Chain A
């Protein structure tokens, strides 16, 4: 038994070192990418971009299912975007609550019949509404078909060459589209997709209302840890992936795509639990298989704040879904693993996902069990175990502090005391937050193995009026 235990300990140790060395390498690359993007941002004239008639028009599509508490602030923030020409298409995906009624009331909507293209098959569209007050707002009311189906319905209605899919629980910065599209206008022929950094809050509308440079972090450590988790995902990972040419997840909360590319790949797929990561994989797969030039980027600019689950139960529900869709997607695109034909996506991106996302829950669970057994059976002492925990905790903290550093250099958005609080919270992540994520990931893996593809939507947070 001890031999097996020793082998398990060594395996976990090897996994720990390999993943963290990868993370450290990615952080170094992320620093380079962040520096370049920061200079680029500083050299941009956003006022000019916001007024120029040569800025490319965009259709913003927001899919909403039972979002009566969040939808108004989201659509208001979208209508307030500073961009020369854009339309907002809100798709009510057969909500059972008052989402449609709230929209009709808030924006003075009237039903109009619009003859649209049926490029993407969707569930039946019941009605299309327009607003006399906001001529660039269109609301599509359709039978429930899931988020992908709702986004496809929005694509059928969209008028412009670029589309931006967003989440209904996210409040956007006024410059969000300018920030995203500034990258596209540099090379529209090559850049087919762009995503950007989003923050998280219990009440996004309230967080976004804070003045620049004084944006608060939620007081509850539970929310602050989610915020740190987002920072690490965007700054340490996605920026580096972007630099290395394998940006494998254009996040659902803000994803700009060239419309013809979506038409080529068949739009958003209903076969997967979530739509964003799978679509990104599909675009990579198609372009690389056909040896076409393209780029998908993640930017460090904060374009908005999305609602984070405010209870452990909701968080587990969200993260187990993320784990499921990662497993579904990575498994579906297994033909890309370690294949030279797929360039950095095949040789770096998919192995990275396999190592740090798909296998992570297995090794995390194995690590907890084997180390506990090892201590119980006297393979090594409790103090060595504690020392190892401290080492992992501070390694996490070092990586998190790098993400905070990258974000602060880019945005200068937080108050100093919030920065200090985040830095102080970082080493305790392993004890206070990570166990919940490990549990959620295990649950997600189990459900993936059982073939569960339901969304398991969690209740929205209660928001202050």
Chain B
């Protein structure tokens, strides 16, 4: 049916007859000619795609590969595609081959690890984690040394591996590269019997990150040598080493470290103060004598921090219930301030009468 044109109806003006409406008509037809097929085609693709997806999901997933498919996947995984899209297809092929335990996987994964795109290398690292054999451990440690892929990703894979890499990590502690030493020290945490002397040496490393990693790992161990090394790091020149040292010393030495850690409540760095508070909180009632000693400290951070830890370990509530007029409680309230007192009183008010009597 012909589309009626504006020239068939009365017009205000007769010059330039129909130029605009012809243009509008032309644009409308062009847009329709483009958009309707696109809408229909995409809609069809969505429905068909979904039906195919449902069907493939219902089929049992098989890990075996046909010979032709395996050859195709090996070729794809061995290729060097230039596009990002192609590189991802390469990774997918590698993962499919790994699921099918194809013998070419060790050779192929080495090549994918060398990809200059760190995301692609990360996918190869995941494949290595899934493989979990001795050769995969060697490759992962090598990737850590050579900086292939993200270090944290390699480390995560190494930590979940069985057999555990344990002894193989010790060599990393003596690497020339501080990043490798850092990861070596970090990864030794689940192995309490390995490398203690070297880790203590590393608490004096020239690189602050290495010192922090060594301190953190030593925090899961015990013994006087470890304790002494951690206390020494509480005065490190880098604040983040002091953060780790405060937490680690609290864990290893317990109440013995409380007086030293309490000093750090007056630190200029918020992170160190927070770590000191965490460590003291972890000691519970054993930290109380040290905390009480700084209630009148000249530094407000120290006073506030001590009051806060006493509140968090329940000492304030205990005193408020036991003897609300206690001068000690008053000293803590003075250190904490008016809002501190209000919060404590509000907590006490919420305790039901029967619980109060029992207390």
Q: Which A residues lie at the B interface, using CB under 8 A?
A: 1-2, 6, 9-10, 13, 16-17, 20, 32, 35-36, 39-40, 42-45, 48-49, 51-55, 110-115, 117, 127-128, 159, 185-187, 374, 377-381, 383-384, 387-388, 390-392, 394-395, 397-398, 401-402, 404-405, 408-409, 412, 416, 419-420, 423, 426-427
Contacts and interface: CB of A to CB of B under 8 A. Distances in A.
A48 B20 contact: no
Nearest to B38: A398
A289 to B, nearest CB: 28
Contacts of A10: 20, 23
Given A186-B150, A381-B9, A398-B35, A54 B347 contact: no
Given A391-B27, A423-B46, A379 B150 contact: no
Contacts of A416: 47, 50-51, 54
A13 B129 contact: no
Given A40-B119, A113-B340, A419 B46 contact: yes
Interface residues of B, number: 76
Contacts of B342: 111, 113, 127
A419 B308 contact: no
5 contacts: A51-B160, A52-B160, A401-B43, A404-B46, A416-B50
Given A43-B126, A401-B39, A392 B31 contact: yes
B193 to A, nearest CB: 20
Interface in B30-53: 31-32, 34-36, 38-39, 42-43, 45-47, 49-51, 53
Nearest to B85: A35
Give 7 nearest A-B pairs by CB, closest first: A380-B21, A39-B88, A391-B31, A52-B156, A394-B35, A398-B38, A113-B340
B274 A159 contact: yes
Given A186-B122, A377-B12, A397-B35, A45 B129 contact: yes
Contacts of A17: 27
A40 B85 CA distance: 10
A114 B36 contact: no
A23 to B, nearest CB: 11
A408 B31 contact: no
Interface of B: 3-6, 8-13, 16, 20-21, 23-25, 27-29, 31-32, 34-36, 38-39, 42-43, 45-47, 49-51, 53-54, 84-85, 88-89, 91-92, 95, 118-119, 122-123, 126, 129, 150, 152-153, 155-157, 159-160, 270, 274, 301, 304-305, 307-308, 311-312, 336-337, 339-340, 342-344, 346-347, 350
Nearest to A20: B31
Nearest to B345: A111
A186 B35 contact: no
Given A186-B118, A384-B21, A401 B31 contact: no
B157 A395 contact: no
Contacts of B51: 416
B46 A391 contact: no
A419 B50 contact: yes
B349 to A, nearest CB: 10
Contacts of B21: 379-381, 384
A379 B343 contact: no
Given A13-B23, A408-B46, A394 B39 contact: yes
Given A381-B5, A416-B47, A416-B50, 12 more contacts: A43-B123, A43-B126, A111-B342, A115-B304, A185-B150, A186-B150, A381-B3, A390-B32, A391-B31, A391-B32, A395-B31, A397-B39
Given A115-B304, A401-B39, A387 B274 contact: no
A398 B24 contact: no
Interface centre among A42, A51, A381 (most CB of B within 10 A): A381
Contacts of B11: 378-379
B91 A39 contact: yes
A43 B6 contact: no
A412 B6 contact: no
Contacts of A388: 24, 27-28
Contacts of B27: 13, 16-17, 388, 391
Contact of B9 (A35, A128, A378): A378
Given A36-B84, A40-B119, A401-B42, A49 B156 contact: yes
Contact of B311 (A113, A378, A387, A420): A113
A113 B119 CA distance: 44
Given A384-B6, A387-B29, A405 B46 contact: yes
Contacts of B89: 39
Contacts of A32: 85
B47 A380 contact: no
A110 B350 contact: yes
Nearest to A53: B159
Contacts of B36: 394, 398
Contacts of B304: 115
B211 to A, nearest CB: 19
A423 B53 contact: no
Contacts of B4: 381, 383
B208 to A, nearest CB: 17
Nearest to B92: A39
Nearest to B271: A159
B43 A423 contact: yes
Contacts of B39: 394, 397-398, 401, 423, 426-427
Give the interface centre of B36, B39, B118 by most chain A CB atoms within 10 Å. B39
A9 B20 contact: yes
A213 to B, nearest CB: 9
Contact of B42 (A42, A110, A405): A405
A119 B47 CA distance: 52
Contact of B28 (A113, A159, A387, A409): A387
Contacts of B119: 40, 186
Given A113-B336, A113-B339, A419-B50, A381 B8 contact: yes
Nearest to A33: B84
A367 to B, nearest CB: 11
Contacts of A128: 343
A358 B215 CA distance: 55
A125 B201 CA distance: 46
